[in-house]
Amino acid sequence: MTSTFPRYSRIAGTGSYLPPRRLSNAELAAELAARGIETSDEWIVERTGIRARHFAAPDVGSSDLGVAAARQALEAAGCSASDIDLIIVATSTPDMVFPSTAALVQQKLGVHGCPAFDVQAVCSGFVYALTVADSMIRAGSARRALVIGAEVFSRILDFNDRTTCVLFGDGAGAVVLEASETPGVVATELHADGRHVGILCVPGHVSGGQVLGDPLLKMDGQAVFKLAVGVLEEVARSVLGKAGRGAEEIDWLIPHQANIRIMQGTARKLKLPMGKVIVTVDQHGNTSAASIPLALDHGVRSGRIARGDTLMLEGVGGGFTWGAVLLDF
């Protein structure tokens, strides 16, 4: 008996959006100096590779950034919002406690009825959302999905903590993922380890009409760094194994854009030259769930990533969460 379900999902188009307000390291350092916080362009570049980040205006939410990225992805895919039958937004900085940012995106795109929900896996969020969309398409529950990573991390930064506030920025990236008889997404793998909840978190919560606890980001950078380098190699090898492919078959590694040194470490372990790694962390800092689709779209629009290329997308972040998606573009 032949299955009526599609064998694969494939990326039909990509898009991204960065809010216009761009702060170089020097500009941010000057703003922080006015608060008595000392940092420098030299420290930030040397330790992270970040040169600038974008901050959204106060009245702009993750849904707005996500919609802008989604419109680009729809155009690149040659379809309209009404062709979409599933919307998933990966975000840890939703516009509201509820409804979901995905429901707000749906409303702003002017389409109604299709399922729309958020995935919360912090910096691994896009890899989680892509995996869920791929599974739903292959199960026959959707044919064309909008998968978005969108964040306004500037809202949860403690600008009195130089160890974190220089690292993050705002932005969004999106893909249209559609049913296909040819690959497409080849293999995926997701992980979480709740033992490490405390090393990267925003511990506050809303209760009785008030924010209780600390609503700003806390990170043990060194602990995150150490875990990240280990799990990113492990999950890449595992996904390659599932697909029966070798690391040398990867045309482009598109890792979470948090720190150039983590990306260099992962590439070294996989014996990939840095020329095969898409790096955009210098331009926008760590945009959490938005960073992988931002880097992907940048690689596509700059002409480096071509149709047929094999891509390894890798996320890692709070939870502790991590995962990878291997796909033929």
The set of catalytic residues is 123, 256, 286
Beta carbons within 8 Å of 58's beta carbon, 6+ residues apart: none
Residue 70: phi, psi to the nearest 5? -65, -40
Question: Taking a C-beta distance cutoff of 8 angstroms, is the pair 269, 326 a contact?
Answer: no
Is the Cβ of residue 129 or residue 136 nearer to ligand UT7 in the bound state? Answer: 129
Is the Cβ of residue 82 or residue 222 nearer to ligand UT7 in the bound state? Answer: 222
Minimum Å gap between C-beta 245 and ligand UT7 is: 26
Is the Cβ of residue 106 or residue 321 nearer to ligand UT7 in the bound state? Answer: 321
Alpha carbon separation from 316 to 197, 207, 284 (Å, rounded): 13, 29, 17
Q: Which residue has the tokens 């890692």?
A: 316
The closest of 248, 236, 247, 201 to 325, measured between CA atoms, is: 236
Is the Cβ of residue 154 or residue 286 nearer to ligand UT7 in the bound state? Answer: 286
Minimum Å gap between C-beta 162 and ligand UT7 is: 4
Minimum Å gap between C-beta 46 and ligand UT7 is: 9
**Cα three-residue angle 77-79-17, rounded to 5 degrees:** 60
Minimum Å gap between C-beta 73 and ligand UT7 is: 23
SS3 57: coil
Minimum Å gap between C-beta 221 and ligand UT7 is: 3
Minimum Å gap between C-beta 259 and ligand UT7 is: 4
Give the residue nearest to ligand UT7 (CB): 221
Is the Cβ of residue 179 or residue 281 nearer to ligand UT7 in the bound state? Answer: 281
Q: What are the tokens at 308?
A: 């047929």
Minimum Å gap between C-beta 128 and ligand UT7 is: 14
Residues making contact with ligand UT7 (CB under 6 A): 39, 43, 47-48, 123, 162-163, 166, 200, 221-222, 224-225, 228, 258-259, 262, 286, 316-317
Is the Cβ of residue 293 or residue 317 nearer to ligand UT7 in the bound state? Answer: 317
Q: Please return the burial class of 182, using the count of CB atoms within 10 Å of its CB with bins 0-12, 13-18 and 19+.
A: exposed
End-to-end CA distance of the chain: 29
> What is the rounded CA–CA span in Å between residue 223 and residue 198?
10
> What is the rounded CA–CA span in Å between residue 138 and residue 140?
5
Is the Cβ of residue 116 or residue 296 nearer to ligand UT7 in the bound state? Answer: 296
Q: What are the tokens at 128?
A: 């989680």
What are the helix (H) ranges across the chain?
25-33, 41-48, 62-77, 101-109, 125-138, 162-165, 221-243, 260-269, 281-284, 291-301
> What is the rounded CA–CA span in Å between residue 42 and residue 55?
21
SS3 281: helix
